[in-house]
Amino acid sequence: MTPHYFGECFGWLHHAAGGRGVVLCPAFGVEELVTHRFLRRLATDLAAAGMPALRFDYHGTGNSLGSDYDPDRVNAWLSSVRQAVECLRRETGVREVALVGFRLGALLATTAAAELGDISKLALVGPVISGKTYVRELKALSTLSEESAGIAKGDASTFASDADGIEVTGFTLTRETLDSLQRINLSALQNKPASSVLVLGRDKVAADSRLVEHLRGLGCTVGHEVLPGYAEMAWNSSIAELPEDAFSSLIRWLAQDMPAQTAVPPHPLPSSLRTADWMEEAVRFGRNEGLFGVRCLPSSPRHEHVVLFVNHGADHHIGWARMHVAFARKFAADGIASFRIDVAGLGDSPARPGEQENRLYRSESTEDVSAAVDWLQQQGYSKFIVIGHCAGSYLAFYSALRDPRIGGLVMVNLQRFFWQEGDSLEVAFRKRYRSTDWYFHMLHDSQVWRRILRGEVDVRGIGWALAKQLTKRGKSVLSRGLARVSGTESNSQKVVRWFRELAQRGTRVLLIYSEEDVGLDELILHCGARAKRITTQSNIQLQILDGADHNITPQWARERYFGLLTSYLNAVSSGR
C-alpha cells in the first residue's frame, strides 16, 4: 500500500492488477476513527483478491487539507469522492470503478455515483439514507456524549446554540453543513447510481426496504445482506473486533465478472502537501519501512525541538477528534516541527509477522518510538519531545525511560503505570467511573443528593469503585512500609524513582489530567496528592484541566490543552 496525496486529499493506494478498482468512502467523525483499521483490512483483502483499492480522507478530515469550519463541506466531500475515483482510474488504468461507502460515506458515495454515471458497482454499509435523520442522530449523540462525559456547557461551549451548529465527540458541523446534509435523501434519488448495488445492514438490523425498492425502481439490481459484527466494530476503536470472514461476501460480490486489465506499472505518487505555513509528508520508517507517520515541517523553523505524537489509545495517527493534525499544523505555524506516528499494530502500521493487531500497552512499542527518533535524527533533529494521551502516555513514559534522547515528555490522562498481560481493556472501557476525589467533592452538592434520591445515580457501582480505589491506596501505603522493612522496592517507589531519574537526566515532564479523570487515582496512588512526591523536582509539572473529559473532547478544552502545550514548549525552548 502506498500513501499519497491527490489534490488536497490524502489517501492510500493498495495495488493490484485487476480491471475493476474499488474506492472506499469512510464514515465521518468518531465513526471513521473506530472503523479506520477495518477499512485498511478491507482494502488489503480487496487487493489480495486482485482489485486495486483506494481509501482516502475527505477534504477537511484526516490528513487532508481543510477543517470542519471551512464553507461548503458537503460539496467538498462529494468532490473528494469524485477526485478519488479519477485518481484510481489514472493511477491504475482500471476499466471499472466500484464504490463502497460506510455510514455517511454511503450517502456521499451514492450521491456522487448518481452524478458520475459510470460507477459499475456500489456497496452501502450501514448507510445513512436521510440526511435529516442523520442530523437528528448527531444532535442526540452530541447531547448524550456531553452528559456521559460530564462536559460543562454554557459559555464554555463552542456554539451558543444549536442554531449555530453542533459539536459531536469533538467534530464540528456548522449550521451550513447541517443544512446541506438535511437536503440529501437517497429515497428521493432521481438518477441510477450504479447497475448493481449491495446494501449491507448492521448486524440484526436489516437493510432499509424503502431504499432497496427505490433503487430497484431506478433500474438497479439490488441485493441486501447483513454485515456481521458491525455494531461492535463501530463502538470503540480500542476493543472493537470483526469476524475474520466479515467482508468475505462483500469481496466476492465486488469481484464478480471483473474485467481483465492491462496493468499500469506502479510509479512514484505525490507524498507531500504544502501550504504557506507548513509542508506535510507521508513517511515510511523503521525496520523494512514497516511503520508509518506524517511529518509536519514549518515553512519558517524557529525551534530546535521536534514533537513526536504517539497513538492516542488505539486511534490512528490523526488523534482523537483529529487533534494531532490540528496541533501539528498550529505548531508548524509557530515554527515547530512534528511527527505523528502509528506504532506497529495500530492505525496504518501493520502488526509485525506473528503478532496481534490493535494491542495497547505493549512494551515492544517503545522500540517503534525509538525507531521514530532514529529517523528524525537522520533528518538532522537532536532534541525530541514525546506527547502521549491515555495509553499513549504510558507508551511515552516508558519510551522516555528507555531512550535518553527524549528530553521532553507530556503525559495526558495516564490511566496505568503498570500493565500485565491479561488485564482487560474491555472492562476498563465499559465501566469507567470518575476520580475518587471528584466523587467526594460532589457529596457537598445538593443537586447530587437529589439525583441519588431520584435513583438517577449508580450508587452501588460508584460505591464499589470508590471502595476498590481506597483499598488500593491502603495497600499501596502498606506495601511501601513493608518494602522499607524488607529492603525491597514497592511499585510506588519505582514510579517515584523513575520520575526522579528522568528529572536528573534533564527531561522536562508535563503531566496533564482532566479534573474528573479516574487516572488521577493512579497518580495519587503512586505519587501522592497533587503528585507531591515528584513535583518537588523543578522540571516535573502537574496541570489540571477543569471541566474537561478524558479525551479532552470539546473545542474549548482543546484550546486550553493547546495553550498548556504551547507554554511548555516555549519553556523547554528557552531553557526555563
Q: What is the DSSP letter of 266?
A: P
Supply φ then ψ for residue 315, to 5 degrees.
-65, 145
Answer for the pair 101, 23: CB distance below 8 angstroms, yes or no: no
Asked if residue 358 lies in contact with residue 37, where contact means CB atoms within 8 angstroms, the answer is: yes
Angle at which helices 131-149 and 175-182 pack, to 10 degrees?
140
- Which of these, 211, 212, 24, 41, lies nearest to 109 by C-alpha position? 24
Using the structure block, give the residue that is written with the C-alpha cell 484550546. Answer: 559
Nearest to 117 by CA among 17, 189, 32, 12: 189
Return d(Cα 488, Cα 447) in angstroms, integer. 47
Instruction: With residue 513 as reference, give the H or E element that holds it.
Output: strand 508-514
Here the cell at position 130 is 436521510
User: Phi and psi of 489, rounded to 5°?
Assistant: -125, 125
Long-range contacts (CB closer than 8 Å, 24 or more residues apart) made by 243-249 = 247/41, 247/42, 247/45, 249/225
Nearest to 193 by CA among 134, 80, 108: 108
The answer to whether 187 touches 210, Cβ cutoff 8 Å, is yes
Listed residue (530, 534, 558) closest to 544, CA to CA: 530
CB contact at 8 A, 385 and 393: no
Strand 291-298 to strand 221-227: parallel, antiparallel, or no bridges (unpaired)? unpaired
**Cα distance between residue 60 and residue 388, in whole Å:** 24
Q: How far is CA 572 from CA 296, 488, 569, in A?
A: 20, 35, 5
Domain 2-130+186-255 is in which class?
A: alpha beta
User: What is the helix (H) or strand (E) element at residue 185, kind and residue range?
Assistant: none
Beta partners for residue 123, in sequence order = 100, 198
Of residues 115, 99, 111, 107, the one with CA closest to residue 56 = 99
What pTM does this model have? 0.86
SS3 310: coil
| Domain-wise residue ranges, the chain | 2-130+186-255, 131-183, 273-429+550-574
Query: Which three cell numbers mark 148?
Result: 456521559
Task: For residues 210 and 343, give the distance between their C-alpha atoms in angstroms, rounded to a whole number.
Answer: 44
Task: Tally the C-alpha atoms within 13 A of residue 407's C-alpha that lie toward its C-beta.
Answer: 14
Q: Which residue shows C-alpha cell 452528559?
A: 147
**pLDDT for the residue 281:** 97
Grid coordinates of 349: 502500521
Can you give the pLDDT at residue 245? Answer: 83
Cell numbers describing residue 184: 440529501
- The domain at 273-429+550-574 falls in which architecture? 3-Layer(aba) Sandwich (3.40)
Q: Give the per-residue pLDDT at 156.
A: 42
Q: What is the pLDDT of residue 33?
A: 92
The secondary structure of 46-104 as a DSSP string is HHHTT--EEEE--TTSTTSS--TTSS-HHHHHHHHHHHHHHHHHHHH--SEEEEEEETH
Please list the residues that pair with 342 across neighbouring strands. Answer: 292
- 2-130+186-255 and 273-429+550-574 agree in CATH topology: yes
3-state secondary structure 222-262: EEEEEECCHHHHCCCCCCCCCCCCCCHHHHHHHHCCCCCCC
pLDDT at 160: 42
Cell numbers 445513512: residue: 128
- What pLDDT tens digit does each residue of the chain (576 aa) get? 899 999 999 999 999 999 999 999 999 999 999 999 999 999 999 999 999 999 999 999 999 999 999 999 999 999 999 999 999 999 999 999 999 999 999 999 999 999 999 999 999 999 999 999 999 999 888 877 665 555 544 444 444 445 688 999 899 999 999 999 999 999 999 999 999 999 998 766 556 788 999 999 999 999 988 887 776 665 565 666 777 888 999 999 999 999 987 667 677 889 999 999 999 999 999 998 999 999 999 999 988 899 999 999 899 999 999 999 999 999 999 999 999 999 999 999 999 988 888 888 999 999 999 999 999 999 999 999 999 999 999 999 999 999 999 999 999 999 999 987 656 554 444 445 554 444 444 444 455 445 545 555 554 554 555 455 556 556 545 655 565 666 678 899 999 999 999 999 999 999 999 998 999 999 999 999 889 999 998 899 999 999 899 999 999 999 999 999 999 999 998 776
**Residue with grid cell 442522530, as numbered in its chain:** 137
